[in-house]
Amino acid sequence: MDNQDIAFILNEIGEMLEIQGEHPFRSRAYHRAAYAIQGLAEDINDIYKENNLEKIPGVGKGIAERIVELLKTGKLAYYEELQEHVPPGLLQLIGIQSVGPKKAKLFYDKLGIADVEELLKAADEHRLKDLPGMGPKAEENVRAGVLEFQHLRERILLSEAYPLAENIIRQLDEFDFILRVSAAGSLRRMKETIGDIDILAASNEFSKTMDVFCNLSEVSRVLAKGETKSSVITQIGLKVDVRVVSPEQFGAALQYFTGSKEHNIHLREIAKKKGLKVNEYGVFEVKTEKRMGGAAEEEVYNLLGMQWVYPVLRENKGEIEAATLNNLPNIVNLSDIKGDLHVHSNWSDGLNRIKDVARAAKERGYEYVAISDHAEKLKIAGGLTVDDYRRQWEEIEVANKEIGGVTILRGTEVNIDNEGNVDFEDDFLREFDVVTASIHGGFSQNKEQLTRRILRAIYNKHVNVIGHPTGRILGKRPPYLLDLKAIFKAAAETGTFLELNSFPDRLDLKDDYLKEAKDVGVKFVINTDAHSIGQLRYIFYGLATAQRGWLEAGDVINTYSLEEMMKMLGKE
Ligand code: DGT
Ligand code: CA
Ligand code: CA
Ligand code: ZN
């Protein structure tokens, strides 16, 4: 149990007391204590050992006893008893703008509303406006508050959160009293979706740091402003938490707030075995309470006897064991990428001409780019016929002569039909430099059928790559039902590459599957599937996913030179 855990529980107790209609001074005492503990610059475990709990502002004898019970046993009987009387959904209600504890209790008592969905339904059906103290306006406010709350709970794509965080960090960095500033949390780990943005700053001037943050133009509402932590809602509806620490704590705090929670828990277990303690303030020797370090993140890991761990790997999926053996993967970097094998042009449903695509690829420093337009069976995307491709190849030849410095390859994205066949005859497929085969329909087949389709495409010796293998669209469509083990095995056996599609709402194969597939010998290509030259930048998100999947440059075909790559595709 650390400061955050204790503060969280005390806050919930305060909220439950409010809902129960207890005298306000009782709930306020818990909120005040939680607030003070959240802002403490010292570990509450230490304060307890020094017998100083009651010196924390707002912590009297009663609350101190609750804290002791929590620290000693990890549980609190009083809290558990309250939980029995207050449904958890009701606690969510009071987190909604314009629904306080009084209204939550009113809705619960009069209409039996115990969660957010029920509340929205009641507002939609105008059952709230006639309750005492309500009215049409108040009902509308509740409805708006619920919608905002639901939006806040949704995870947002990394590609939406990342530029916003970058922007905030850049602005904070400009103040000279802010000495360091970094992303933390899931954003620093480059997870595909983000719950909220966490930012950590180092400064000797805490309140000035909080002031400038809460006044940024991106902020639409300040949820909480404290001495060391503030939370705001930005104009795109995403929550941002900023914490400020003193410079000598920056490394330990960055480590702690980067997470993941599972990674941190495992680290602390290792620390314990070594007679050390790690928290957001530093690394300490338990026996002497001596601070061993914590100004830099490397110190934290080194003191625990391991290499510094790339944030993208911190998910407790074997990285701690690997770092201890000095055996972390040498993860693939953006600078390793030498080309893109899946880009659309205006020949099918892309926006730009082949020449423009080639110039943009060259500007990115690529050696090659494959124009991989849709094939004829995908009519809605303007799929190309045999004749179309032959004419396209003429244009590619002209563009290759004209531009130079980047090689435009003849690609295609053929469809895997319901039986697992692809658009063209072998003799024609042979003429492409690279053939990617993807599923674009028939998603409702069962697992055996879908798996058989993809396996058939894998065993087609002219198919080099399986495009976006699981077909998921984040927030919209779940992955197809597939026997991935069988697919990975077949891909490894046949030397068929699996795509990591970098489109921010695909990121398909996803991180965990990449690692699983790599372990059975699969090789990959990181493509963008760009439909305009602006989308070539999505490689950044694909790359982050590749890193999270432990891929090294050697696992990824488009890190090789053109010549080597063509050999690997079986084209000499
Ligand atoms: P998210 O926001 O859902 O995408 O995921 P994270 O990983 O950013 O999680 P968040 O924002 O709740 O917390 C940021 C980091 O702070 C998290 O990665 C680890 C640390 N942390 C948060 N809550 C706890 C906790 O209850 N215990 C421990 N040990 N660490 C926590
Ligand atoms: Ca977060
Ligand atoms: Ca957070
Ligand atoms: Zn495509």
CATH number where 318 lies: 3.30.210.10
Per-residue confidence of the chain (572 residues) as pLDDT tens digits? 888 889 989 999 998 998 888 888 888 899 989 988 877 778 899 999 999 999 998 899 999 999 999 999 999 999 999 988 887 778 888 878 788 888 998 999 899 998 888 999 999 999 999 999 999 999 999 998 888 777 766 789 999 999 999 999 999 999 999 999 999 999 999 999 999 999 999 999 999 999 999 999 999 889 899 999 999 988 777 899 999 999 999 999 999 999 999 999 999 999 999 999 999 999 999 999 999 999 999 999 999 999 999 999 999 999 999 999 999 999 999 999 999 999 999 999 899 999 999 999 999 999 999 999 999 888 777 799 999 999 999 999 999 999 999 999 999 999 999 999 999 999 999 999 999 999 998 888 999 999 999 999 999 999 999 999 999 988 778 898 899 999 999 999 999 999 999 999 999 999 999 999 999 999 999 999 999 999 999 999 999 999 999 999 999 999 999 999 999 999 87
Structural domain harbouring 104: 3-152
Note the ligand closest to the C-alpha atom of 195: 1
Q: Are 239 and 256 in the same domain?
A: no
Q: Whose CA is nearest to atom 9 of ligand 1?
A: 185
Task: Tell me if 424 sits within 8 A of 375, measured CB to CB.
Answer: yes
Asked if 264 and 168 sit in the same domain, the reply is no
Mutate to test the pocket of ligand 1, among 153, 154, 186 (most ligand atoms within 8 A of CB): 186
Q: Are residues 140 and 32 in the same domain?
A: yes
Q: Are residues 488 and 564 in the same domain?
A: yes
Residue with CA at minimum distance from ligand 1 atom 1: 195
Q: Residue 373 C-alpha to ligand 4 middle, in angstroms? A: 7
**How far, in Å, CA of 136 to CA of 138, rounded?**
6
Residue 1 in 3-state DSSP? coil
- Three-class HEC string of 217-243: CCEEEEEEECCCEEEEEECCCCEEEEE
Do 33 and 92 sit in the same domain of this protein?
A: yes
Task: Tell me the two tokens of residue 500.
Answer: 């990591």
Are residues 97 and 213 both part of a single domain?
no
Query: What is the pTM assigned to this prediction?
Result: 0.81
CA of 468 relative to ligand 4 center, distance in Å:
9
In a domain, 54, yes or no: yes
Q: Give the domain CATH number at 168.
A: 3.30.460.10
Q: Does a structural domain hold residue 193?
A: yes
Domain count, the chain: 4
Angle at 557 between CA 552 and CA 559, to 5 degrees: 65
Task: Please tell me the distance from the alpha carbon of residue 334 to that of residue 312, in angstroms, as a whole number.
Answer: 14
Q: How far is the CA of 262 from the centre of ligand 1 (A)?
A: 9
Q: Which of 91, 120, 152 corresponds to the end of one domain?
A: 152
DSSP reduced 3-state for 214: helix
Please indicate, yes or no, whether residues 421 and 557 belong to a single structural domain of this protein. Answer: yes
Q: Which of 294, 324, 354 is the last residue of a domain?
A: 324
Q: Report the separation in Å between the CA atom of 231 and the middle of ligand 3, taken as the mean of its atom positions.
A: 8
Q: CATH number of the domain that 133 lies in?
A: 1.10.150.110
CA 268/CA 424 separation, integer angstroms: 57
Q: Which tokens hold the place of 108?
A: 């619960």
Same domain, 358 and 470: yes
> Which ligand is closest to the CA of 527, given by its number?
4
Q: Which of 155, 191, 239, 261 has most ligand 1 atoms within 8 Å of its beta carbon, as the pocket-test mutant?
A: 261
Atom 8 of ligand 1: nearest residue by CA position: 185
b/e per residue 14-29 (b: at least 16 CB within 10 A) = bbbbbbeeeeeeebeb
Query: Could you say which of 134, 152, 170 is where a domain stops?
Result: 152
Let me know whether 509 and 545 are in one domain: yes
Q: Are 302 and 358 found together in one domain?
A: no
Which residue's alpha carbon is at the smallest distance from atom 20 of ligand 1? 257
**329 in any annotated domain:** no
CATH number of the domain at 342, please.
Answer: 3.20.20.140
Same domain flag for 25 and 8? yes
Do both 341 and 470 map to the same domain? Answer: yes
Residue of 223, 240, 228 whose CA lies nearest to 201 = 228
Give the 3-state secondary structure of 503-519. CCCCCECCHHHHHHHHH
Question: What residue ranges line ligand 1, CB within 6 angstroms?
Answer: 4-5, 185-186, 191, 194-196, 198, 257, 259-261, 264
Tell me, yes or no, whether 363 lies in a domain. Answer: yes
- How many Å lie between the centroid of ligand 4 and the Cα of residue 543? 18
Shortest-distance atom of ligand 1 to CA 261: 19
